[in-house]
Amino acid sequence: MKRLLALFMVMGLIVAACGNDDDDAPDAPAAPEATEAPEAPAPDDEMMLDELNVAYFLEWPTANQVAQARQTYDDALGVTVNWIPFASGGDMAQAMEAGDIDISYSQGLTPFANFVTGGSDLLLVGVAVSYADADNCVANPDLGINAANAAETLAGQSIYTPLGNVTHFKLLKMLEYLGVDTASVELIQSEGGPAAVAALDSGEVAMACAFGGAVNQMIANGGNLVMTGSEQEAIGIRVFDIISTTGTFAAEHPDVVTTFLQVTEDANVAYNDDREPFIDIIAGAAGMERAPTIALLDAFSFPERDVQLSQAWLGGTVQQVMKEQMDFFVAQGEIESALPSYDSFVDTSFLEAVEGRAKPDELNVAYFLEWPTANQVAQAEQTYDDVLGVTVNWIPFASGGDMAQAMESGDIDISYSQGLTPFANFVTGGSDLLLIGVAVSYADADNCVANPDLGITAANAAETLAGQSIYTPLGNVTHFKLLKMLEYLGVDTASVELIQSEGGPAAVAALDSGEVAMACAFGGAVNQMIANGGNLVMTGSEQEAIGIRVFDIISTTGDFADTYPSLLTGFLQVTEDANRAYNDNRDPFIDTIAGAAGMERAPTIALLDAFSFPEKDVQLSEAWLGGTVQQVMKDQMDFFVAQGEIASALPSYDSFVDISFLQAVN
């Protein structure tokens, strides 16, 4: 790889562009207090501090800047806290080594790992922010560079990038994944975000790498991402910043470190509950305007204490990420050697002493057996348990109505893949339920199958179904679809008898017995009835064409959501990560999903072929939680009223959908 080796070796892989060199943040406007300051630690045997020097980045908005601007840290610690802006994580490390900085907030993991590899007495005490989508490389729009052709289009080109930080690491990992010969590209050392924007605009580089507002600006100027943050995460690239200090400072002032983390935790909790009151004060502390602040915050997440202490973070993953990064730099010839382990540079004792948000001893989640879903990989591998820091019990149910009753009674905390119709039925009746996400869409996996001996078709259904019995669930989307289909086909619903289903196997048995003209079900039971000779009266696509949409949701109770909001966001984050991985390439996960669903491989694939798992941005669109889901509930309940199935519907179902938890997902 062509690069300035002499400079690179001198810098020791510590130069990392991040933020700018502005001396002072502008005065922050007044805003509501995020939290009350914890009581300052009483004097003890610790060496007393006159002041605390904290390194941070300007133009890098974070939840804790509310406490920074309101001097909550000063009040809690009983000392003056000086917030000193830095340009890079490497500079932060050097300043801690020199004793000029006591704590670094949002230092990059990569420069931290570089310095401890070189012998520095640094200690990682917390995770500051996760931001996969806010750190990336943007391609020159005139070159047509994309993931498919990068190996050819980047050969012989120049790339403008920071060196020795996570942006550099991400770039090298991405080039390796895309098959780009790194010896064929020239890396030009970045001088910061604005310089990256200027370099790409000049046309002199094929790609420029940066983070934060610079990435957004380059895209706004016409550049394109070669790989998205989600695609990079799918190949194992995680991007986050840390809270660090020196081993000496931590040993001499343990209460200061713990109290600093407590104030940070309180600020994160307040932000994660409702960030809106804090946007302006964060923008002021970051030295930014409101709009770009929001754009960055949309790409950030601020993990709370319990999440940080989980296996997915400080419980082992962060240490392993450091090891993988340093090993990768060794393989790339960037550094001579890595340490055998980075475990000793992570100390969770200070964070463990912090009072976090209340959480339950365990989490009870309702789901369906024989209903394969993308998130069952995380279920089977206990990723939910690791990330949430609680035992997650997955409890199988027979119907969405049963799920709703169990949530009402407090036996179930979250229902995964509950039918929309029973949810709407229960909230119409006064239940305190809340829809927080879309689980799965499956028009072709929920249907009614006709007795093969009766010759029932869409053309003759009005005559052939008259006086017959139909085996079906009641009060769920299958029931709704049946009634809508009968109405469309001109069948007099007063002329048919609806027999309440006792589940999929019972539906198969009922149709096989010849005692019913049609049986309605979902999942494997539909496939089995067709395999046994039954026929569909209308396909799922034909039903969608007349306005019947079929999907399941993720739900909880309003009370649980109020008490454990971060737990819900964590649950949705794990689900989102599983959906992304599945949607990128489902093949490695089929057997795991089949096992969790209690199915064989072939029928699992048959059902998954009829399923789709919408990711966060799709769910939040107008076609889903942006308005359509609420309207579908209203349409369904109004239809049941017209059919005489329920007495009345609500004027609106908007208040039963809360997208705030999903919006907080990365």
The model's pLDDT over 523-544, given as tens digits with 9 standing for 90+, comes to 789 989 999 999 999 988 788 7
Each residue's pLDDT tens digit, 313-345 = 898 889 999 998 999 889 878 899 999 999 999
pLDDT given for residue 200 in this prediction: 97
Residue 311 predicted with pLDDT over 70: yes
Specify whether 493 is located in the same domain as 428.
no
CATH number for the domain that contains residue 229 = 3.40.190.10
Specify whether 525 is located in the same domain as 599.
no
Specify whether 245 is located in the same domain as 348.
yes
**CA atoms of 565 and 12, how far apart (whole Å):** 43
Specify whether 271 is located in the same domain as 411.
no
Instruction: Read off the pLDDT of each residue in 508-524 and give the average, rounded to a whole number.
Output: 94
Each residue's pLDDT tens digit, 272-301 = 888 999 999 999 999 999 999 998 998 888
What single-letter amino acid sits at 301?
A: S
Question: What percent of the chain is predicted at pLDDT more than 70?
Answer: 92
In the block, which residue shows the tokens 């048919």?
496
In the block, which residue shows the tokens 């591998």?
381
Instruction: Read off the pLDDT of each residue in 195-214 and give the average, rounded to a whole number.
Output: 93
Each residue's pLDDT tens digit, 483-505 = 989 999 999 999 999 999 988 89
- Residue 45, domain member (yes or no): no
Residue 124 predicted with pLDDT over 70: yes
Specify whether 377 is located in the same domain as 458.
no
Specify whether 286 is located in the same domain as 329.
yes
Specify whether 373 is located in the same domain as 419.
yes
Each residue's pLDDT tens digit, 59-84 = 999 999 999 999 999 999 999 999 99
- Residue 8, domain member (yes or no): no
**CA atoms of 666 and 653, how far apart (whole Å):** 27
- Residue 40, domain member (yes or no): no
Query: Which of 352, 373, 396 is a domain's end point?
Result: 352
Question: What percent of the chain is predicted at pLDDT more than 90?
Answer: 71
Question: Lowest-pLDDT range, 212-226, 341-355, 645-659?
Answer: 212-226
Contact call for residues 322 and 311 (beta carbons, < 8 A)? no
pLDDT given for residue 26 in this prediction: 31
- Residue 167, domain member (yes or no): yes
- Residue 569, domain member (yes or no): yes
Query: Which of 184, 209, 234 is a domain's end point?
Result: 234
| CA distances from residue 303 to 161, 267, 439 in whole angstroms, order as listed | 28, 11, 23
Q: Strand order of the sheet with strand 240-246?
A: 80-85, 51-56, 103-108, 240-246, 122-130
Residue 665 predicted with pLDDT over 60: yes
User: Domain range for residue 152?
Assistant: 134-234
Specify whether 263 is located in the same domain as 337.
yes
Which is higher by pLDDT, 243 or 502? Answer: 243
Specify whether 85 is located in the same domain as 141.
no
Query: Which of 332, 352, 372 is a domain's end point?
Result: 352
**Which stretches within 309-399 are classed as H helix?**
317-331, 349-352, 376-380, 383-388
Instruction: Read off the pLDDT of each residue in 347-364 and give the average, rounded to a whole number.
Output: 92
Specify whether 322 is located in the same domain as 394.
no
Work out the pLDDT band at 251, boundaries 50, 70, 90: very high
- Residue 5, domain member (yes or no): no
**Helix (H/G/I), strand (E/B), else coil: 212:** coil
Instruction: Read off the pLDDT of each residue in 237-250 and give the average, rounded to a whole number.
Output: 94
DSSP per residue, 370-394:
T---TTHHHHHTTHHHHHHTSEEEE
Task: Please name which of 371, 291, 378 lies closest in space to residue 576, comparing C-alpha atoms.
Answer: 378
pLDDT given for residue 363 in this prediction: 98
Counting the structural domains of the chain, the total is: 4
Residue 596 predicted with pLDDT over 50: yes
Instruction: Read off the pLDDT of each residue in 385-399 and give the average, rounded to a whole number.
Output: 92
Specify whether 118 is located in the same domain as 83.
yes
Work out the pLDDT band at 546, boundaries 50, 70, 90: confident
- Residue 3, domain member (yes or no): no
Each residue's pLDDT tens digit, 421-439 = 999 999 999 999 999 999 9
Specify whether 287 is located in the same domain as 337.
yes
- Residue 10, domain member (yes or no): no
Q: What is the pTM of this model?
A: 0.58
